[in-house]
C-alpha cells in the first residue's frame, strides 16, 4: 500500500541502496520453488512498471521499487509464485489499470489475492499465540495466510523507509505497527517479520537521543564539579563552543576534552589565588 531507541531509523541513503532487483526476487523464489516460472515474474514486473510509470515514493524513488521490495519480502517468506506475483502487482488498483486486466493477464488467483489485500483488516487477525510457521504452510499457504504475508511485507517496507514520511504520520504508523502488525506477524509464525516491525516501530516512538543532546547533558553534568559561582558562566561557554561544531566527531572530541580538563579546572577555580583575584 502507498505510503523510511532510532534502531536507529536507517538513513535515507542506506534505504534506497538496499532496493532489491527483479533478479533478486526471481532468485529468492527459485531458492524455495525451483520450478517457478521466471517469465511470469518478469511479466508481472513489466505490468507493474507500466501502471506505476511516473509515480514516486516519498523518498523520490520510482514507485516500482516499493513493489519489488514487497515481492522480495514475500519471496523470502517462501510464498509460492502466484503470491509473489500478487505482491509485485499489489498496488495497481491505485492506478488507471482496468479492473479485469490483471485477471485476464495473470489469472483469477492473482487478481483475487490483490483484491483481498486491498480489503484485508489486519487487526481482525489473531494477535495471540506464538510459534514458527511450518515450511509446508508457506509452500502451500491458505488464501488468508497469503493475503497476510503481502500486507505484512507492505507494512515492513513502509516502516523501513518511514524516515521519508512526515513526523506526525510516522508516529501514527509506528503506533499501529507496534499495536497490531507486529503481534499479528508473531502470532502467524512470522516471528522474524514481527521482530523487525517491533524494532522499527519502537525506534520511531522511542527515538535515541542525538549525539548533540548527549554531549549537552554531559557538559551540564560536568559543571557540577565547579564552584557554584562559576557554573553558569562555564555552562554557557561550553554550550556555545559545542554548538559551533558541525559534525558528531568534532562534538565528541570537544566533550572529551572538557571531560578530561574539568577536574583541573575545578581545582584551579577553587584555589586561594583564584578566590583572591575575584
For 62, the 3-state DSSP assignment is strand
Answer yes or no: do 58 and 25 share one domain: yes
Alpha-carbon distance 82 to 113, whole Å?
Answer: 9
Answer yes or no: do 198 and 236 share one domain: no
Answer yes or no: do 178 and 119 share one domain: yes
- On whether residue 1 sits in a domain, the answer given is no
pLDDT digits (tens, 9 = 90+) for 27-57: 999 999 999 999 999 999 999 999 999 999 9
Q: Which residue from 161, 168, 201 is spatially nearest to 59, judged by alpha carbons? A: 161
pLDDT at residue 21 tops 50: yes
- On whether residue 221 sits in a domain, the answer given is yes
pLDDT at residue 170 tops 60: yes
pLDDT at residue 208 tops 80: no
Answer yes or no: do 108 and 195 share one domain: yes
The C-alpha cell of 38 is what?
A: 521466471
Boundary (domain end) residue, out of 183, 205, 227: 205
Boundary (domain end) residue, out of 205, 232, 263: 205
Answer yes or no: do 217 and 191 share one domain: no
Highest mean pLDDT among 121-130, 168-177, 233-242: 168-177
Write down the pTM of the prediction.
Answer: 0.70
Contact 183, 198 (CB under 8 A): no
For 190, the 3-state DSSP assignment is coil
Answer yes or no: do 219 and 170 share one domain: no
Which residues, including other chains, have CB under 8 Å from residue 63's CB and lie 6 or more apart?
52, 55, 56, 57, 91
- On whether residue 95 sits in a domain, the answer given is yes
Q: 21 is in which domain, residue-wise? A: 12-205
Alpha-carbon distance 161 to 140, whole Å?
Answer: 30
Answer yes or no: do 227 and 201 share one domain: no
Distances from the Cα of 96 to the Cα of 34, 50, 52, 53, 57, angstroms = 34, 10, 9, 11, 18
Answer yes or no: do 46 and 23 share one domain: yes
Angle between helix axes 64-76 and 81-88 (nearest 10 degrees) is 160
Residue 210: predicted pLDDT: 60
The CATH number covering residue 64 comes to: 1.10.3210.10
pLDDT at residue 8 tops 50: no
Arithmetic mean of pLDDT over the chain = 85
Residue 18: predicted pLDDT: 64
Answer yes or no: do 108 and 129 share one domain: yes
**Predicted confidence band of residue 131 (pLDDT cuts 50, 70, 90):** low
pLDDT digits (tens, 9 = 90+) for 189-201: 999 999 999 999 9
Residue 211: predicted pLDDT: 59
Amino acid at each position: 500500500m502507498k505510503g523510511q531507541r532510532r534502531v536507529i531509523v536507517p538513513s535515507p541513503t542506506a534505504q534506497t541502496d538496499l532496493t532489491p532487483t527483479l533478479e533478486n526476487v526471481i532468485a529468492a523464489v527459485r531458492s524455495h520453488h525451483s520450478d517457478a516460472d521466471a517469465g511470469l515474474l518478469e511479466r508481472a514486473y513489466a505490468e507493474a512498471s507500466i501502471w506505476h510509470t511516473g509515480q514516486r515514493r516519498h523518498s523520490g524513488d520510482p514507485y516500482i521499487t516499493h513493489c519489488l521490495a514487497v515481492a522480495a519480502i514475500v519471496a523470502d517468506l517462501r510464498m509460492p509464485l502466484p503470491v509473489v506475483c500478487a505482491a509485485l502487482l499489489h498496488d495497481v488498483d491505485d492506478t488507471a489499470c482496468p479492473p479485469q486486466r490483471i485477471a485476464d493477464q495473470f489469472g483469477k488467483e492473482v487478481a483475487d489475492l490483490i483484491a483481498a489485500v486491498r480489503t484485508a483488516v489486519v487487526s481482525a487477525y489473531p494477535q495471540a499465540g506464538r510459534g514458527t510457521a511450518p515450511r509446508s504452510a508457506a509452500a502451500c499457504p491458505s488464501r488468508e495466510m497469503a493475503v497476510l504475508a503481502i500486507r505484512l511485507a507492505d507494512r515492513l517496507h513502509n516502516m523501513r523507509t518511514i524516515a521519508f514520511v512526515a513526523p506526525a504520520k510516522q508516529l501514527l504508523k509506528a503506533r499501529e505497527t507496534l499495536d497490531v502488525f507486529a503481534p499479528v506477524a508473531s502470532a502467524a509464525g512470522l516471528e522474524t517479520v514481527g521482530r523487525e516491525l517491533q524494532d522499527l516501530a519502537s525506534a520511531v516512538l522511542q527515538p535515541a537521543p542525538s549525539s548533540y543532546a548527549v554531549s549537552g547533558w554531559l557538559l551540564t553534568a560536568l559543571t557540577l564539579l565547579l564552584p557554584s559561582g562559576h557554573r553558569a558562566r562555564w555552562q554557557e561557554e561550553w554550550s556555545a563552543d559545542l554548538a559551533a561544531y558541525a559534525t558528531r566527531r568534532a562534538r565528541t572530541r570537544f566533550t572529551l576534552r572538557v571531560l578530561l580538563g574539568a577536574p583541573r579546572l575545578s581545582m584551579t577555580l577553587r584555589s586561594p589565588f583564584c578566590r583572591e583575584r575575584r
